[in-house]
Amino acid sequence: MRRTIFLICICLSGLTMSGQNFEFYKTYGDSLIKLKEYAKLIEFFEGEIKKYPENDTICQYLGLFYFNNKQIEQAVKNLKKAIFLNPECINCYTSLASIYATQRDFEKAIQYADTAIDLDKKSGDPLALRARIHNLNGNTFYAKMDFNKAFRKEIKNPQSYIWHAKFNNQQGFSVSAISNLEKAISMDSTLIEARIELAMIHFYSGHFEDVISEINTVLKHDKENAMAYNILATAYKELQDFETSEELFNLGIDYADSSELHMLLYNRTSLYHSMEDMERKCADLNSLIVLSESGWINDTNLTRQNEIEANAFCDSNFQEYFYQRGIAAYNLSQYEEAINWYKKGLNRFPDSYLTLSFLGNAYYKNNQFDEALAAYYEVLKNAEKMKIEIRQNERARFMDNVDFYYNGNLAQVHQFTAECLLYINKPEEALAHANSALSISRDIPDLKDLGFFYTRGLVNLMLMRFQEAIADFNADLETRENPEAKIYRAIARMSLLGNINKQAKNINPLEGVDQDWFKSRKAITDDADLLIIERSLEDCNEVIEKYPEYAHAYYNRALIKYFTKSGDHCPDLILAKKFGQEINENHTLNCDLD
């Protein structure tokens, strides 16, 4: 659940005091508030309070400036002085309630909110504030009561619909929240807060195009809204448009004050991580540490997390420094570079079995199967040591489920071990590892889309266990979109016809079935066999319909047509070659591919 954030907005445009001319205050103060120059405002108004020591309004605004400058003690002191001078200062009570809520002193926060409610019989604002405090403290029943009371008082006020929307969203009622926000926007189309909240709901629902639409509308009204750029940049990151995302983060950072800068920098580190750009990620992590040292990040857990991230990614005295750079190279398909990084890490930290598992992955992707197997066997022999290594990692404190990470890594070691064994024609051994991967992942829903059924399907196909292969490909397709599973399901189905060359050599499903898989061409007339052909062709057709340039699908459809004499196969073979399928000169199936 997202944390409730209490914002204290300040503006001097309504500031009036009898007997004094404050037009200069308004102009000077509002200009600096817009720039969020709170230190300069504090300096100026501290001078003014010496001239007018009994002025409660100056005390009130000093309190707000101190709060926004992260000087909580001085903020409370000035707001309490304002109340002493003016016991009916409603904004002073609500401001103190908000401050104590951010400090998680809920008892005091409620006390000040109660006083504001007693003083303000017309507005729903203090009730909505108390509702947010109750909600932050986990008292959803009382929160709902206060939100309803506030709503009844402010039913013609669009802000009341925003209160309701935030509460409904926090309780998991996103549809009601969207309805509330759309009502607020229909009452006032310039409501930035409503559009940002609506964009956030769309974001967490994965509707990134809707996020972009809402935030672009916000920026038409407020082109310097740093948090709007933050949301928009993050949406583009999720859409893999990294260039646009970076441009938007940079704009947001240009407009951000110190309190907003942390969020933007932190999210930009995530962007650079996705881009596999460790150097710029480190630069932002170091900036976050500077913010912490300057007192702009008061959350000690967040500060510690930033320090741990910086150590892991940016300090070569830590083993993660090496394997994170290896992972970055691996994700960019730079496998030789990844191998070099992992080896450097193992030279420094020879007992890191996590690094060794990553080295095995890089060897595997680089077609160095013997080296990969040697690494994987060593990892599997020391699996318990790898679990201890993961649990002792400081970053594990911020993981939701450390055992999930361990099990996922272990399952993938078994999976890739199985695939390496397939490449060196040891399918029986491969089957044992494929089964182990499935056994580890079976009760963990988030691991089911990693292709463990698909791997075992390939093993079963190589072992000529066609029904089992079909069942595995079916299971894989239930958890994810995988065109290769459909193509190999078609091959497994065709293999049920019995026209298989069981003595064929160098046939490996991981490298693709070719014409040597089949013994000879023959026309099919049996109804049951015709149904198998129809369903096999249907699998290839579905892949081609969704991915019109998928070479492997054209190639296998050509094979099916050729060996069953069920259609002109040459157009498919020509397209397969056009879209990148390598076709041996001895495997042209009597087609002119030139």
**Torsion over CA: 93, 98, 99, 100 (sign):** positive
Locus of tokens 């450097």: 344
C-alpha distances out from residue 368 to 353, 371, 494, Å: 19, 6, 32
Instruction: Kindly state the helix (H) or strand (E) to which residue 58 belongs, with its residue range.
Output: helix 56-68
**Is 486 in contact with 477 (CB distance < 8 Å)?**
yes
Q: Is the pLDDT of residue 296 over 80?
A: no
Mean pLDDT, rounded, for 380-389: 93
The strand pairing partners of 518, in sequence order, are 500
Rounded Cα gap, residues 18 and 592, in angstroms: 96
**Is 472 in contact with 451 (CB distance < 8 Å)?**
no
Higher model confidence: residue 285 or residue 171?
A: 285
Encode pLDDT of 450-481 as tens digits: 899 999 999 999 998 999 999 999 999 998 99
Three-state DSSP class for 39? helix
Rounded Cα gap, residues 203 and 101, in angstroms: 27
pLDDT at res. 132: 86
Encode pLDDT of 312-369 as tens digits: 888 889 888 998 899 999 999 999 999 999 999 999 999 999 999 999 999 999 999 9
Higher model confidence: residue 277 or residue 7?
A: 277
Encode pLDDT of 53-74 as tens digits: 888 888 988 888 888 887 889 9
Encode pLDDT of 160-186 as tens digits: 788 778 888 877 888 888 998 988 889
Q: Is the pLDDT of residue 111 over 80?
A: yes
Q: Given pLDDT bands bounded at 50, 70 and 90, which one contains residue 2?
A: very low
Among 5-14, 362-371, 418-427, 540-549, name the one with the lowest average pLDDT: 5-14
Rounded Cα gap, residues 408 and 430, in angstroms: 18
Mean pLDDT, rounded, for 31-46: 76
Higher model confidence: residue 430 or residue 28?
A: 430
Q: Given pLDDT bands bounded at 50, 70 and 90, which one contains residue 377?
A: very high
The reported pTM is: 0.68
Encode pLDDT of 133-157 as tens digits: 998 888 888 888 888 888 787 777 7
Q: Is the pLDDT of residue 235 over 80?
A: yes
Rounded Cα gap, residues 257 and 507, in angstroms: 62
pLDDT at res. 505: 45
Q: Given pLDDT bands bounded at 50, 70 and 90, which one contains residue 298?
A: low
pLDDT at res. 23: 60
Mean pLDDT, rounded, for 360-387: 96
pLDDT at res. 1: 29
Dihedral of the alpha carbons of 543, 549, 551, 555, in degrees to the nearest 10: 60
Q: Given pLDDT bands bounded at 50, 70 and 90, which one contains residue 16?
A: very low
The alpha carbon of residue 112 and the mean position of all alpha carbons in its chain are separated, in whole angstroms, by 38
**Is 14 in contact with 30 (CB distance < 8 Å)?**
no
Three-state DSSP class for 500? strand
CA atoms within 13 A on the CB side of 118: 9
Rounded Cα gap, residues 414 and 365, in angstroms: 15
**Is 395 in contact with 308 (CB distance < 8 Å)?**
yes
Encode pLDDT of 206-227 as tens digits: 999 999 999 999 999 999 999 9
Q: Is the pLDDT of residue 542 over 80?
A: yes
Rank 295-304, 338-347, 382-391, 577-586 by mean pLDDT and report only the highest. Answer: 338-347
pLDDT at res. 149: 86
Q: What is the mean pLDDT of the chain?
A: 86
Higher model confidence: residue 246 or residue 147?
A: 246
Residues found in the chain = 594
pLDDT at res. 414: 97
pLDDT at res. 31: 61
pLDDT at res. 564: 86
pLDDT at res. 7: 46
Q: Is the pLDDT of residue 503 over 80?
A: no
Give percent of the chain above pLDDT 90. 49
pLDDT at res. 4: 41
Q: Given pLDDT bands bounded at 50, 70 and 90, which one contains residue 297?
A: low
Q: Given pLDDT bands bounded at 50, 70 and 90, which one contains residue 484?
A: very high
CA atoms within 13 A on the CB side of 386: 23
124-140 burial, b for 16+ CB within 10 Å, e for fewer?
bbbbbbbbbbbbbbebe
pLDDT at res. 510: 61
Q: Is the pLDDT of residue 250 over 90?
A: yes
Rounded Cα gap, residues 38 and 296, in angstroms: 13
Rounded Cα gap, residues 263 and 252, in angstroms: 10
